[in-house]
Homo-oligomer: A and B are copies of this chain.
Amino acid sequence: MNTVKIKKEITEKRAKYHHGDLRTALVQAADEIIAEGGIEAFSLRAAAKRAGVSPGAPAHHFGCVKGLLTEVALLAFERLGQCIEDVGHSEDTAADIRALSLAFVTFVLNHPGHFRLMFRNDLVDRSDPRYFQVSVKSGIRLDRAVAAYHGKSEADLNQFEDAADIFCGMATLYGMANLILEEKAAHFFQDVASRDFVERELPKVLEHLYPSKDRT
Protein backbone atom coordinates (compact mmCIF):
# COMPACT_ATOMS: atom_id res chain seq x y z
CA MET A 1 0.00 0.00 0.00
CA ASN A 2 2.96 2.23 0.60
CA THR A 3 4.07 1.75 -2.95
CA VAL A 4 0.63 2.69 -4.13
CA LYS A 5 0.85 5.97 -2.27
CA ILE A 6 4.18 6.75 -3.85
CA LYS A 7 2.87 5.91 -7.25
CA LYS A 8 0.04 8.33 -6.78
CA GLU A 9 2.37 11.12 -5.76
CA ILE A 10 4.47 10.58 -8.81
CA THR A 11 1.38 10.47 -10.93
CA GLU A 12 0.28 13.82 -9.62
CA LYS A 13 3.67 15.36 -10.05
CA ARG A 14 4.28 14.49 -13.66
CA ALA A 15 0.95 13.67 -15.24
CA LYS A 16 1.70 10.09 -16.21
CA TYR A 17 4.48 7.72 -17.05
CA HIS A 18 3.20 7.72 -20.57
CA HIS A 19 3.18 11.31 -21.58
CA GLY A 20 0.28 11.00 -23.96
CA ASP A 21 1.64 13.01 -26.84
CA LEU A 22 5.32 13.32 -26.19
CA ARG A 23 6.20 13.70 -29.82
CA THR A 24 4.48 17.02 -30.29
CA ALA A 25 5.48 18.08 -26.79
CA LEU A 26 9.12 17.62 -27.72
CA VAL A 27 8.69 19.51 -30.96
CA GLN A 28 7.10 22.35 -29.07
CA ALA A 29 9.84 22.37 -26.46
CA ALA A 30 12.55 22.45 -29.11
CA ASP A 31 10.67 25.14 -30.97
CA GLU A 32 10.52 27.33 -27.89
CA ILE A 33 14.17 26.80 -27.03
CA ILE A 34 15.22 27.81 -30.52
CA ALA A 35 12.93 30.82 -30.47
CA GLU A 36 14.44 31.95 -27.20
CA GLY A 37 18.12 31.15 -27.58
CA GLY A 38 18.74 29.94 -31.10
CA ILE A 39 20.37 26.67 -32.05
CA GLU A 40 23.15 27.36 -29.58
CA ALA A 41 20.73 26.93 -26.72
CA PHE A 42 19.26 23.76 -28.12
CA SER A 43 20.21 20.26 -27.14
CA LEU A 44 18.28 17.04 -27.23
CA ARG A 45 18.57 16.74 -23.50
CA ALA A 46 17.42 20.30 -22.92
CA ALA A 47 14.33 19.65 -25.01
CA ALA A 48 13.67 16.46 -23.07
CA LYS A 49 14.02 18.26 -19.76
CA ARG A 50 11.71 21.03 -20.92
CA ALA A 51 9.11 18.44 -21.86
CA GLY A 52 9.59 16.93 -18.40
CA VAL A 53 10.92 13.65 -19.65
CA SER A 54 14.10 11.60 -19.45
CA PRO A 55 17.04 12.33 -21.74
CA GLY A 56 16.69 9.06 -23.61
CA ALA A 57 13.04 9.48 -24.46
CA PRO A 58 13.34 11.53 -27.69
CA ALA A 59 15.23 8.73 -29.41
CA HIS A 60 12.05 6.65 -29.50
CA HIS A 61 10.08 9.27 -31.42
CA PHE A 62 12.79 10.73 -33.61
CA GLY A 63 15.62 8.55 -34.71
CA CYS A 64 18.20 11.14 -33.81
CA VAL A 65 18.54 14.85 -33.19
CA LYS A 66 18.14 15.62 -36.87
CA GLY A 67 14.65 14.16 -36.80
CA LEU A 68 13.47 16.52 -34.11
CA LEU A 69 15.12 19.56 -35.63
CA THR A 70 13.58 18.72 -38.99
CA GLU A 71 10.14 18.95 -37.42
CA VAL A 72 10.99 22.35 -35.99
CA ALA A 73 12.27 23.52 -39.35
CA LEU A 74 9.08 22.35 -41.06
CA LEU A 75 7.03 24.26 -38.50
CA ALA A 76 9.07 27.37 -39.19
CA PHE A 77 8.59 26.98 -42.94
CA GLU A 78 4.86 26.77 -42.44
CA ARG A 79 4.89 29.98 -40.45
CA LEU A 80 7.00 31.64 -43.12
CA GLY A 81 4.53 30.43 -45.72
CA GLN A 82 1.74 32.02 -43.72
CA CYS A 83 3.58 35.34 -43.56
CA ILE A 84 4.05 35.21 -47.32
CA GLU A 85 0.42 34.32 -47.91
CA ASP A 86 -0.70 37.26 -45.83
CA VAL A 87 0.94 39.66 -48.26
CA GLY A 88 -1.69 41.20 -50.47
CA HIS A 89 -1.64 41.13 -54.24
CA SER A 90 -1.29 44.28 -56.24
CA GLU A 91 -1.22 45.08 -59.92
CA ASP A 92 2.25 46.54 -59.76
CA THR A 93 4.49 43.48 -60.02
CA ALA A 94 7.48 45.41 -58.70
CA ALA A 95 5.47 46.42 -55.66
CA ASP A 96 4.57 42.77 -55.20
CA ILE A 97 8.20 41.80 -55.16
CA ARG A 98 8.92 44.55 -52.66
CA ALA A 99 6.13 43.46 -50.37
CA LEU A 100 7.05 39.80 -50.52
CA SER A 101 10.71 40.50 -49.93
CA LEU A 102 9.93 42.76 -47.02
CA ALA A 103 7.75 40.06 -45.52
CA PHE A 104 10.53 37.54 -45.91
CA VAL A 105 13.23 39.69 -44.36
CA THR A 106 10.87 40.69 -41.57
CA PHE A 107 10.26 37.04 -40.82
CA VAL A 108 13.99 36.42 -40.75
CA LEU A 109 14.56 39.28 -38.31
CA ASN A 110 11.67 38.16 -36.14
CA HIS A 111 12.78 34.53 -36.07
CA PRO A 112 16.55 34.54 -36.40
CA GLY A 113 17.07 31.24 -34.61
CA HIS A 114 14.62 29.46 -36.86
CA PHE A 115 15.98 31.03 -40.02
CA ARG A 116 19.49 29.92 -39.12
CA LEU A 117 18.15 26.42 -38.69
CA MET A 118 15.89 26.13 -41.70
CA PHE A 119 18.60 25.98 -44.33
CA ARG A 120 21.24 24.02 -42.42
CA ASN A 121 22.02 20.80 -44.22
CA ASP A 122 23.72 19.30 -41.21
CA LEU A 123 20.86 19.90 -38.79
CA VAL A 124 17.82 19.37 -40.98
CA ASP A 125 16.96 16.42 -43.19
CA ARG A 126 16.23 18.23 -46.40
CA SER A 127 15.55 14.96 -48.19
CA ASP A 128 12.32 14.64 -46.23
CA PRO A 129 9.59 15.00 -48.87
CA ARG A 130 7.72 17.40 -46.64
CA TYR A 131 10.68 19.75 -46.74
CA PHE A 132 10.47 20.19 -50.48
CA GLN A 133 6.74 20.64 -50.24
CA VAL A 134 6.78 23.32 -47.58
CA SER A 135 9.80 25.20 -48.93
CA VAL A 136 8.27 25.44 -52.37
CA LYS A 137 5.03 26.58 -50.82
CA SER A 138 6.75 29.50 -49.15
CA GLY A 139 8.78 30.40 -52.22
CA ILE A 140 6.23 30.10 -54.99
CA ARG A 141 4.76 33.54 -54.51
CA LEU A 142 8.10 35.16 -55.11
CA ASP A 143 8.70 32.88 -58.08
CA ARG A 144 5.44 34.02 -59.62
CA ALA A 145 6.04 37.65 -58.81
CA VAL A 146 9.46 37.67 -60.44
CA ALA A 147 8.13 35.78 -63.45
CA ALA A 148 5.27 38.23 -63.76
CA TYR A 149 7.65 41.14 -63.44
CA HIS A 150 9.55 39.85 -66.44
CA GLY A 151 6.29 39.42 -68.30
CA LYS A 152 6.29 35.66 -68.19
CA SER A 153 3.65 33.25 -67.02
CA GLU A 154 4.36 30.47 -64.61
CA ALA A 155 4.17 27.96 -67.44
CA ASP A 156 7.37 29.31 -68.94
CA LEU A 157 9.50 28.30 -66.01
CA ASN A 158 11.20 25.44 -67.85
CA GLN A 159 12.59 27.96 -70.25
CA PHE A 160 16.11 28.61 -69.17
CA GLU A 161 15.99 32.35 -69.15
CA ASP A 162 12.96 32.54 -66.92
CA ALA A 163 14.40 30.00 -64.55
CA ALA A 164 17.52 32.15 -64.46
CA ASP A 165 15.48 35.21 -63.54
CA ILE A 166 13.81 33.39 -60.70
CA PHE A 167 17.04 31.83 -59.58
CA CYS A 168 18.57 35.29 -59.36
CA GLY A 169 15.58 36.62 -57.49
CA MET A 170 15.76 33.85 -54.93
CA ALA A 171 19.51 34.21 -54.57
CA THR A 172 19.29 37.95 -54.07
CA LEU A 173 16.58 37.72 -51.47
CA TYR A 174 18.26 34.92 -49.59
CA GLY A 175 21.56 36.76 -49.73
CA MET A 176 20.08 40.03 -48.54
CA ALA A 177 18.37 38.34 -45.64
CA ASN A 178 21.64 36.76 -44.67
CA LEU A 179 23.70 39.91 -44.98
CA ILE A 180 21.18 41.87 -42.99
CA LEU A 181 20.62 39.33 -40.23
CA GLU A 182 24.28 38.54 -39.70
CA GLU A 183 25.21 42.18 -40.09
CA LYS A 184 27.62 41.47 -42.89
CA ALA A 185 26.47 44.62 -44.64
CA ALA A 186 27.59 46.91 -41.87
CA HIS A 187 29.98 48.79 -44.11
CA PHE A 188 27.15 49.55 -46.51
CA PHE A 189 24.54 50.64 -44.05
CA GLN A 190 24.46 51.12 -40.32
CA ASP A 191 21.89 49.60 -37.98
CA VAL A 192 21.33 47.18 -40.77
CA ALA A 193 19.71 44.54 -38.60
CA SER A 194 17.08 46.78 -37.11
CA ARG A 195 13.50 46.36 -38.20
CA ASP A 196 13.11 50.10 -38.65
CA PHE A 197 16.00 50.22 -41.03
CA VAL A 198 14.74 47.36 -43.10
CA GLU A 199 11.27 48.79 -43.46
CA ARG A 200 12.72 52.14 -44.42
CA GLU A 201 15.54 51.16 -46.75
CA LEU A 202 14.81 47.74 -48.17
CA PRO A 203 12.00 48.96 -50.44
CA LYS A 204 14.35 51.58 -51.82
CA VAL A 205 16.96 48.95 -52.58
CA LEU A 206 14.37 46.77 -54.25
CA GLU A 207 12.97 49.67 -56.20
CA HIS A 208 16.46 49.99 -57.53
CA LEU A 209 16.69 46.32 -58.38
CA TYR A 210 13.20 45.97 -59.79
CA PRO A 211 12.20 49.43 -60.97
CA SER A 212 8.47 50.00 -61.22
CA LYS A 213 7.56 50.16 -64.85
CA ASP A 214 5.87 53.13 -66.39
CA ARG A 215 2.28 52.34 -67.10
CA THR A 216 1.24 55.25 -69.22
Interface residues of A (CB under 8 A from B): 40, 119, 121-122, 132, 136, 160-161, 163-168, 170-176, 178-179, 182, 184-185, 187-189, 204-205, 208-209
**Pairs across A and B, CB under 8 Å, 28 listed:** A40-B122, A119-B184, A121-B182, A136-B187, A163-B189, A164-B204, A164-B205, A164-B208, A166-B188, A167-B176, A167-B185, A167-B188, A168-B172, A168-B176, A168-B205, A170-B175, A170-B179, A170-B185, A171-B172, A171-B175, A171-B176, A173-B175, A174-B175, A174-B178, A174-B179, A175-B176, A175-B178, A178-B178
Query: 15 additional contacts, CB 8 Å, given A171-B175, A174-B175, A175-B176?
Result: A119-B178, A119-B182, A160-B204, A161-B208, A164-B204, A164-B208, A165-B208, A167-B188, A168-B176, A168-B205, A168-B209, A171-B172, A171-B178, A172-B172, A173-B175
